[in-house]
């Protein structure tokens, strides 16, 4: 069946804004190709009797004008010469299509429509020809079927097979690039909606934070914790990057890679520091915990941390889990009693827990070392080792008395602990500092370590003779991870007692390492139960502030609540902190670098590429928001083209990004994501992506824009772990759902997909802000800590004692 030629006139003066016009154009082009009819495509902006129509077709020597696509199909397939039965069947199909499929959108009952289409195509020929009936249904359903998940189409086998067969026919394959190049001339810029999406639905990422997450048999189940922040202060930026933010990045990455992921955190609320802070503020321990738990939660919410559950340790569930672990350890013979000399304040009439004591460090002579650890040299201490110790409550020098405590016999557990460390550190590729600190403990030889304290605020010890004591916070705190999980789901043991199916990743500052690699795993081993043990530890060094330390008391440094007060978006803070993550050595926060990072990297690189690509695609003078078709010959594997080299470069960097993230090398991965965006900018420059390219080399321009807009879509997944709000904005501008992170770059936004309206992702920060913020948050040499005088220390101790007396009264 052949016709000579037709003239397709595209009316650029018309203002249609619906997908029906696109479907009609596709029908005409396929029908012409299938019937061997040449198509001359012209445009007009003159008002005619058909000027309200986006296009029309002029046929035959009589110059007959047809405005309806189905009428053109009838003409090209010579419907009038068909046998009566065939003609009636065709007309019935056209009537069904016009009533059922015309104006198809997201509000239609797709299952009913697909069921009807399934029945209709089941009556058509099963060969590889494209008949009139095929054209009518294919034109109407092309975008809908392209956007339906394969699993959904499985319910309609006849339709699924027919669609696959038709889209592979030479006529349809030849037409799609022509259609993509011309559809923008018959459609004005449509408002983006779910109805005009056309993307690979297999890449869609769906995460419902309200849905309970449990391990799935056969899946990759990832359990993530970040060190539980203590409730005696607001977290500063070093605390945030050291544990919670780093863990959030890995949790988001794990989810976007399709892994079954649970991220648990909460506030650490028991212990001496809480009692001390409560005395200072003149409130009860519970009131203090309630106050700071809410403050921490508020800060983390603002930073966009995606905990599946953010709990706390001052709960009945914590008591239950801690006491159960202790009871099993005791039953198995790994708990011993030790009578030790301990500092006792005769003025306070109490044994002094570690943090109630300060003094001079015996190792480095730092005068303000705490009773459990020296903040200057980092050495763990016993309070009795301090030189010239003093009670923090009243400033008096305590005396030495004996107190009996319970200890975990780490020396007897060392063989099992060492075997665990050797196996896990190799399989889980621990951070270098985490392994070094752990091996240092093991090489020195583990010793029994006290797990009880003479305090009131903590988990009571369930053993006769020790009922006046509570568990030491560093025995109790790590057990907060399973107890907080137990508060999240009663099926918590599926995560914590399931080593064959769960991998545990833990994030913290380096000072917390031994409690996660030695004390907690040894406690788990001592129970005799099959616990999920640590797989990977990621330990950060210190983030310093403008060459010094963060200090709340001196007003130096940025704390979580201060970041919001600057008016800078959370994602900018996240990006800068992660780019400065102290993975192998200490790093420094500076306001100058913070501003430069926003202006020179986020705005000039990532923001520029995304905005430049989407604005070019959005213009009515070019693509009117419609994704074009890339020339297959230009992007094929092995092709010697700038486009193929671009694809290969992106794939190489993407592979490296995934390798780094899998190994929790977060800073290196972020650098690669930035480089991929920079490669996109370079690609646009190499191709001289201007209006001239669109006008003079349309195939080249279509290919560039198809690749560039799909790189923007890929960047949304790459940056989702680091800047989630920015990733959401990219997807919103693309009119596309959040996506999974693939193994390789692909054109997942398909021809005909309509993007949303472009917006700027970032805004410039005035460099003058540097001096303003330095003045507001400190940072000069004069902010360095001064040695506190003995007079000031006594004055502070008296104030604490007065607060204690007032509280007890």
Mapped to the 3 state alphabet, what secondary structure does 129-177 carry?
CCCHHHHHHHHHHHHHHHCCCHHHHCCCHHHHHHHHHHHCCHHHHHHHH
Question: Does 198 map to a domain?
Answer: no
Over range 433-441, report the average pLDDT: 95
Which residue(s) pair with 263 in the sheet? Answer: 224
**Choice between 565 and 140, residue whose per-residue pLDDT is larger:** 565
Whole-number pLDDT of residue 97: 82
**Is residue 602 helix, strand or coil?**
helix
Looking up residue 283, the CATH number of its domain turns out to be 3.40.50.620
Per DSSP, 704 falls in state H
Please tell me whether residues 606 and 698 are part of one structural domain. yes
Whole-number pLDDT of residue 416: 98
Q: Say yes or no to pLDDT of 189 above 50.
A: yes
Supply the mean pLDDT for the chain: 88
Task: List pLDDT tens digits, range 213-222.
Answer: 999 999 999 9
Please tell me whether residues 315 and 342 are part of one structural domain. no
Whole-number pLDDT of residue 780: 45
What is the spatial distance between Cα 96 and Cα 216, in angstroms, rounded to a whole number?
45
Looking up residue 704, the CATH number of its domain turns out to be 1.10.730.10
Please tell me whether residues 617 and 526 are part of one structural domain. no
Looking up residue 30, the CATH number of its domain turns out to be 1.20.1050.130
Sorting pLDDT into bands at 50, 70 and 90, what band is 50? very low
Sorting pLDDT into bands at 50, 70 and 90, what band is 805? very low
Q: Say yes or no to pLDDT of 1 above 70.
A: no
Q: Say yes or no to pLDDT of 567 above 60.
A: yes
Contact present, 455 and 503 (Cβ < 8 Å): no
Question: Does 371 map to a domain?
Answer: yes
Question: Does 450 map to a domain?
Answer: no
Please tell me whether residues 257 and 315 are part of one structural domain. yes
**Cα-atom radius of gyration of the chain, to the nearest Å?**
34
Whole-number pLDDT of residue 273: 85
Half-sphere exposure of 42 (CA within 13 A, CB side): 10
Over range 109-135, report the average pLDDT: 82
Sorting pLDDT into bands at 50, 70 and 90, what band is 184? low
Question: Does 741 map to a domain?
Answer: no
Whole-number pLDDT of residue 149: 65
Whole-number pLDDT of residue 109: 65
Whole-number pLDDT of residue 176: 84
Show which of 533, 549, 565 is a domain's final residue: 549
Whole-number pLDDT of residue 337: 95
What is the spatial distance between Cα 139 and Cα 163, in angstroms, rounded to a whole number?
11
**Choice between 112 and 430, residue whose per-residue pLDDT is larger:** 430
Q: Say yes or no to pLDDT of 463 above 90.
A: yes
Sorting pLDDT into bands at 50, 70 and 90, what band is 126? confident
Task: List pLDDT tens digits, range 130-162.
Answer: 888 889 888 888 877 776 666 777 888 899 889
Task: List pLDDT tens digits, range 727-776.
Answer: 999 999 999 999 999 999 999 999 989 999 999 999 999 999 999 999 98
Whole-number pLDDT of residue 621: 66
What is the spatial distance between Cα 350 and Cα 657, in angstroms, rounded to a whole number?
55
Whole-number pLDDT of residue 105: 46
Whole-number pLDDT of residue 808: 44
Query: Could you tell me where the beta strands, DSSP code E, fall in 706-753?
Result: none
Q: Say yes or no to pLDDT of 232 above 80.
A: yes
Question: Does 43 map to a domain?
Answer: yes
Task: List pLDDT tens digits, range 615-666.
Answer: 999 886 678 889 999 999 999 999 899 999 999 999 999 999 999 999 999 9
Please tell me whether residues 122 and 247 are part of one structural domain. no
Terminal-to-terminal C-alpha distance of the chain: 103
What is the spatial distance between Cα 171 and Cα 534, in angstroms, rounded to a whole number?
58
Q: Say yes or no to pLDDT of 785 above 70.
A: no
Sorting pLDDT into bands at 50, 70 and 90, what band is 789? very low
- Name which of 96-105, 117-126, 488-497, 665-674 the model is least confident about: 96-105
**Choice between 367 and 100, residue whose per-residue pLDDT is larger:** 367
Over range 694-710, report the average pLDDT: 93
What is the spatial distance between Cα 693 and Cα 314, in angstroms, rounded to a whole number?
65
Over range 439-446, report the average pLDDT: 96
Question: Does 662 map to a domain?
Answer: yes
In percent, the amount of the chain with pLDDT more than 70 equals 90
Over range 407-422, report the average pLDDT: 97
Q: Are strands 357-360 and 369-370 parallel, antiparallel or unpaired?
A: antiparallel
- For the chain, what's the residue count? 809
Which residue(s) pair with 223 in the sheet? Answer: 262, 504
Task: List pLDDT tens digits, range 586-624.
Answer: 999 999 999 999 999 999 999 999 999 999 998 866 788
Other beta carbons within 10 angstroms of residue 155's beta carbon come to 12
Please tell me whether residues 34 and 173 are part of one structural domain. yes
Over range 689-707, report the average pLDDT: 91
Whole-number pLDDT of residue 11: 72
What is the number of domains present in the chain? 4
Contact present, 241 and 279 (Cβ < 8 Å): no
Please tell me whether residues 11 and 97 are part of one structural domain. yes
What is the spatial distance between Cα 771 and Cα 85, in angstroms, rounded to a whole number?
85
Question: Does 488 map to a domain?
Answer: yes
Please tell me whether residues 161 and 246 are part of one structural domain. no
Looking up residue 388, the CATH number of its domain turns out to be 2.170.220.10
What is the spatial distance between Cα 418 and Cα 441, in angstroms, rounded to a whole number?
10
Please tell me whether residues 29 and 169 are part of one structural domain. yes
Please tell me whether residues 319 and 342 are part of one structural domain. no
Among residues 557, 565, 639, 551, the alpha carbon closest in space to that of 591 is found at: 557
Question: Does 761 map to a domain?
Answer: no
Q: Say yes or no to pLDDT of 807 above 50.
A: no
Over range 514-541, report the average pLDDT: 97
Show which of 484, 516, 549 is a domain's final residue: 549
**Choice between 2 and 120, residue whose per-residue pLDDT is larger:** 120
Contact present, 46 and 12 (Cβ < 8 Å): no
Give the DSSP per-residue string, 577-606.
HHHT--SSS-EEE-HHHHHHIIIIIIIIII
Sorting pLDDT into bands at 50, 70 and 90, what band is 479? very high
- Both tokens of 359, joined, read 């003094």
Q: Which domain holds residue 512?
A: 221-324+474-549
Please tell me whether residues 668 and 803 are part of one structural domain. no
Please tell me whether residues 532 and 506 are part of one structural domain. yes
Show which of 734, 769, 795 is a domain's final residue: 734
């Amino acid at each position: 069946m052949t016709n000579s030629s037709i003239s397709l006139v595209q009316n650029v003066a018309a203002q249609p804004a619906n997908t029906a016009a696109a479907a009609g154009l596709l029908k005409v082009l396929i029908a012409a190709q299938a019937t061997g009819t040449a198509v001359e495509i012209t445009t007009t902006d003159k008002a005619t009797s058909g000027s309200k129509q986006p296009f029309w077709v002029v046929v035959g020597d009589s110059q007959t004008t047809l405005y309806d696509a189905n009428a053109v199909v009838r003409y090209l397939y010579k419907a009038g010469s068909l046998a009566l039965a065939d003609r009636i069947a065709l007309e019935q199909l056209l009537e069904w299509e016009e009533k059922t499929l015309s104006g198809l959108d997201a509000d239609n009952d797709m299952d009913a429509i697909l069921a009807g289409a399934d029945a209709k195509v089941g009556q058509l020929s099963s060969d590889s020809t494209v008949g009139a009936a095929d054209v009518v249904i294919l034109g109407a359903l092309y975008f809908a079927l392209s956007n339906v998940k394969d699993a959904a189409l499985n319910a309609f086998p006849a339709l699924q097979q027919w669609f696959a067969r038709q889209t592979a026919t030479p006529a349809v394959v030849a037409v799609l690039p022509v259609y993509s190049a011309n559809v923008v001339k018959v459609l004005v810029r449509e408002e983006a909606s779910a109805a005009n999406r056309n993307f690979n639905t297999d890449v869609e990422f769906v995460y419902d934070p309200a849905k309970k997450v449990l391990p799935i048999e056969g899946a990759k189940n990832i359990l993530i914790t970040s060190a539980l922040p203590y409730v005696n202060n607001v977290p500063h930026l070093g605390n945030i990057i050291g544990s919670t933010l780093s863990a959030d990045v890995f949790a988001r990455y794990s989810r976007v890679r399709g892994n079954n992921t649970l991220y648990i955190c909460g506030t650490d609320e028991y212990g001496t520091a809480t009692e001390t802070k409560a005395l200072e503020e003149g409130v009860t321990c519970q009131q203090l915990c309630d106050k700071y738990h809410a403050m921490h939660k508020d800060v983390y919410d603002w930073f966009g941390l995606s905990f599946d559950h953010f709990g706390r340790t001052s709960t009945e569930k914590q008591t239950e889990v801690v006491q159960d672990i202790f009871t099993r350890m005791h039953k198995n013979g790994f708990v011993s009693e030790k009578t030790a000399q301990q500092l006792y304040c005769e003025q306070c009439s109490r044994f002094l827990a570690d943090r109630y004591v300060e003094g001079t460090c015996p190792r480095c002579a730092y005068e303000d070392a705490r009773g459990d650890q020296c903040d200057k040299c980092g050495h763990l201490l016993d309070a009795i080792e301090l030189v010239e110790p003093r009670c923090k409550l009243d400033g008096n020098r305590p005396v030495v008395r004996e107190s009996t405590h319970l200890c975990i016999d780490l020396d007897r557990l060392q063989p099992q602990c060492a075997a665990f460390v050797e196996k896990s550190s190799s399989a889980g590729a621990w951070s270098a500092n985490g392994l070094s600190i752990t091996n240092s403990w093991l090489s020195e030889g583990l010793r029994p370590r006290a797990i009880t304290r003479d305090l009131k605020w903590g988990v009571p010890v369930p053993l006769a003779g020790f009922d006046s004591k509570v568990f030491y916070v560093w025995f109790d705190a790590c057990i907060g991870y399973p107890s907080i999980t137990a508060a999240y789901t009663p099926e918590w043991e599926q995560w914590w007692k399931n080593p064959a199916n769960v991998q545990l990743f833990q994030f913290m500052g380096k000072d917390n390492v031994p409690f996660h690699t030695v004390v907690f795993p040894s406690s788990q081993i001592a129970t005799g139960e099959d616990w999920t043990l640590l797989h990977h530890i990621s330990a950060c060094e210190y983030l310093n502030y403008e060459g010094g330390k963060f200090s709340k008391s001196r007003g130096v440094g940025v704390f979580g609540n201060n970041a919001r007060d600057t008016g800078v978006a959370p994602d900018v803070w996240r990006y800068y902190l992660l780019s400065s993550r102290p993975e192998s050595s200490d790093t420094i926060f500076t306001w100058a670098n913070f501003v430069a990072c926003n202006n020179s990297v986020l705005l000039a690189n990532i923001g520029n590429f995304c905005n430049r690509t989407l604005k070019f695609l959005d213009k009515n003078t070019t693509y009117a928001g419609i994704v074009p078709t890339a020339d297959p010959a230009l992007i094929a594997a092995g092709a010697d083209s700038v486009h193929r080299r671009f694809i290969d470069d992106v794939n190489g960097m993407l592979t490296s990004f995934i390798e780094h993230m899998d190994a929790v090398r977060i800073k290196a991965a972020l650098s690669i994501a930035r480089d991929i965006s920079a490669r996109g900018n370079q690609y646009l420059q190499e191709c001289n992506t201007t209006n001239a390219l669109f006008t003079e080399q349309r195939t080249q321009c279509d290919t560039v824009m198809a690749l560039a807009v799909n790189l923007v879509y890929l960047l949304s997944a790459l940056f989702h772990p680091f800047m989630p709000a920015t990733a959401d904005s990219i997807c919103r501008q693309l009119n596309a759902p959040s996506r999974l992170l693939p193994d390789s770059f692909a054109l997942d936004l398909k021809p005909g997909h309509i993007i949303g309206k472009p917006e700027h992702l970032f805004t410039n920060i005035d460099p003058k802000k540097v001096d303003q913020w330095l003045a507001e948050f400190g940072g000069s040499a004069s902010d360095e800590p001064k040695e506190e005088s003995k007079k000031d220390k006594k004055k502070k101790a008296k104030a604490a004692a007065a607060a204690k007396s007032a509280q007890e009264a």
